[in-house]
Amino acid sequence: MPILVMKFGGTSVATPDRIRRAAKRVGVEVAKGYDVIVIVSAMAGKTNELVGLVDDISPLYDAREYDAVVSSGENVTAGLMALTLQEMEVPARSWQGWQVPLQTSSAHSAARIEDIGTENIAAKFAEGMRVAVVAGFQGLSPEGRITTLGRGGSDTTAVAFAAAFEAERCDIYTDVDGVYTTDPRICDRARKLDRIAFEEMLELASLGAKVLQTRSVELAMRYNVKLRVLSSFEEQSDEAGTLVCAEEEIMESNVVNGIAYSRDEAKMTLISVADRPGIAAAIFGPLSEAGVNVDMIVQNISEEGRTDMTFSCPTNQVARAEKALEAAKAEGQINYHELVADTAVAKVSAVGIGMRSQSGVAAQMFKTLSDEGVNIKVIATSEIKISVLIDRKYMELAVQALHDAFGLDKVA
Ligand code: ADP
Ligand code: ASP
Ligand code: MG
């Protein structure tokens, strides 16, 4: 029988009633003749609660135990979903990551999927089971420990299952009815896109649009998975939601197709660094070893052999970055006067494949922000995106102003 993957995010399984509603959606697909792999997240708020408990007990936690704790929310929903389906007389059972098994790297809390064993689930389908409910977000390391795939990782579990089982489609059910030109929660003029290109979705996800985890888009692109985002709260047709697909499958498109933001950014400046060959390596080497995800980097013009070096990283990595740089300074690898952390910044980005062939987008972006009185602190560009770091208090204003300036509420 053809296989369908259906993933339900936290808000879609937040209560028994919502689990029943989701299970009904699954029942509809089973009735159409699909064998279904359901991937579930933890109930809304559960993973945050578990992370909070770990932080309370052990702020500099052992990542293996962190994963053992935070992966547990998904176990509950997987069991509850299987029970709900059984109540509806749909043959179903739950699977935790290790039971599948879903093998990952040993990078705890950010593990990568390495292999999905299809035999166990396939054998159950062959025996007449119609739905395999799999706990998202979790896997098994080569050392036999439970791993997690990073926040939002159930999206990646879903796409990886769709690829491994050659599913007809991977449907991501969430609390919005598709991918929008920007987060509809902060811009009421945001427009739902019927289709979005893999490359654009990849940029939007990696720049903060949390509707899909970045890695899930990467996998969908690599394995050509038909990936759809849709609402679990509305009745759905086969054309509902947003299809993430190859660029060639999209007819109409603007130059800029999306605005993304990331709230939790910090701007770190090393003041008066001795400027010499190898200085960037001496700074960013220790940061990388400490696991700091450095994003934007700016080196100022040097005066009398000294310069300022600025970079951005997630706010929750500031302490780790400070520790790594102070250690490198104490060991004499780098020499700087002061390290200043600005944790009240946000990143706002404009994304569009059309930027490859059209100039002037950056200029329009800077002009728009300037007209709103928003000061730009750091700029970064790539072929299809422009990102700026600004004061966090202007983030929503910037997103809305850019959405208007690039005319995203309609197709040009
Ligand atoms: P789930 O729990 O289902 O995985 P998430 O909270 O991870 O859901 O992702 C859905 C949320 O992503 C939406 O509620 C929305 O606020 C946010 N979001 C951010 N950018 C976008 C966008 N461009 N389009 C749609 N949703 C977006
Ligand atoms: N429950 C996990 C999280 O909140 C994984 C997911 O929902 O995708 O990050
Ligand atoms: Mg999510």
Separation of 250 CA from ligand 3 center, angstroms?
A: 25
3-state secondary structure the chain: CCEEEEEECHHHHCCHHHHHHHHHHHHHHHHCCCEEEEEECCCCCHHHHHHHHHHHHCCCCCHHHHHHHHCHHHHHHHHHHHHHHHHCCCCEEEECHHHCCEEECCCCCCCCEEEECCHHHHHHHHCCCCEEEEECCEEECCCCCEEECCCCCHHHHHHHHHHHCCCCEEEEEECCCCCECCCCCCCCCCCECCEEEHHHHHHHHHCCCCCCCHHHHHHHHHHCCCEEEEECCCCCCCCCCEEEECHHHCCCCCCCCEEEEEEEEEEEEEEEEECCCCHHHHHHHHHHHCCCCCCCEEECCCECCEEEEEEEEEHHHHHHHHHHHHHHHHCCCCCCCEEEEEEEEEEEEEECHHHHCCCCHHHHHHHHHHHCCCCCCEEEEECCEEEEEEEHHHHHHHHHHHHHHCCCCCCC
pLDDT of residue 312: 97
The residue extents of the domains of the chain are 3-251, 259-405
Pocket of ligand 2 (CB under 6 A): 9-10, 41-42, 47, 73, 136-137, 151-155
Is the confidence at residue 252, as pLDDT, over 90?
no
Query: Is the confidence at residue 183, as pLDDT, over 90?
Result: yes
% residues pLDDT > 70 (the chain): 100
Q: What is the pLDDT of residue 301?
A: 85
Ligand 2 closest atom vs CA 137 = 5
Q: How confident is the model at residue 160 (pLDDT cuts 50, 70, 90)?
A: very high
Look up the CATH number of domain 3-251.
Answer: 3.40.1160.10
What was the pLDDT predicted at 198? 97
The highest-level CATH class for domain 259-405 is: alpha beta
pLDDT confidence band for 162 (50 / 70 / 90): very high
pLDDT tens-digit profile of 324-376? Answer: 999 999 999 999 999 999 999 999 999 999 999 998 999 999 999 999 999 99
pLDDT at residue number 41 = 98
Average pLDDT over residues 130-135: 98
Residues lining ion ligand 3 (Cβ < 5 A) are 9, 152
What integer is the mean pLDDT of 237-251? Answer: 89
pLDDT by residue (tens digit) across 286-313?
Answer: 999 998 999 999 998 888 899 999 999 9
Instruction: Look up the pTM and report it.
Output: 0.94
